[in-house]
Amino acid sequence: MTLFAGALPGRDTPISTSDRHAVNNESLHPPFPDGYATLVLGMGCFWGTEQLFWRVTGVHVTAAGYAGGDTPNPTYEEVCTGRTGHAEAVLVVFDPKQTDVEILLQVFWENHDPTQGSRQGNDIGPQYRSTIYVTDEAQLECAKRSADVYQQQLARAGRGDITTEIKPLDTFYYAEAYHQQYLEKNPGGYCGLKGTGISCPIN
């Protein structure tokens, strides 16, 4: 049984994507340097989210993709139907010696509205939900703790409950080549990122 009734069947082979990052020319695909860690985050449309994180000190590489759903190797068009279960998400590969999960999560919480459920601003649908997909137990505990801290801040400001999905990463599927580093290739492109204006003091 799938999480989303009527999930699309997808395909056995990955869809075509980019090999290298358009900003720093690093490989988008593993193996990544020894000791580096990965985290997958969804904040609505992945174009602005990816740009946000490739600018963070200590981030090695980012990639746009799909995570948290049931359909294997989905296309963008399939994800947009809401019938794959996936969220638009960004793979963040980082050097723990230069940054840490708490810093990345602070950037995450402060740059979107995590209380909106299956939408982010004018972008409506389950693919735009707020998500944190972790790759180890320490990240999971840190994500849950940061959510508790930020919920307290939101409540003090009269905001609603956090709806962010926090769970271990199953599979990250790379998005099509034209989505990778989209705002680097299209500087005037759409970016729907908008925070609440409320800080997250998790550090």
Parallel, antiparallel, or unpaired: how do β-strands 165-168 and 172-174 relate? unpaired
- CA-atom Rg of the chain in angstroms: 16
Structure tokens at 46: 């992945």
Q: Can you state the angle between helices 101-110 and 137-156, rounded to 10 degrees?
A: 40
The CA distances from residue 37 to 104, 134, 164, 175, in Å, are 12, 10, 21, 20
Q: Catalytic pick from 45, 80, 142, 200?
A: 45
Told to judge if 200 belongs to the known catalytic residues of this protein, a careful annotator would answer no
Region of 30 (left: φ > 0; alpha: ψ -120 to 50; beta: rest) is beta
**Residues assigned a catalytic role:** 45
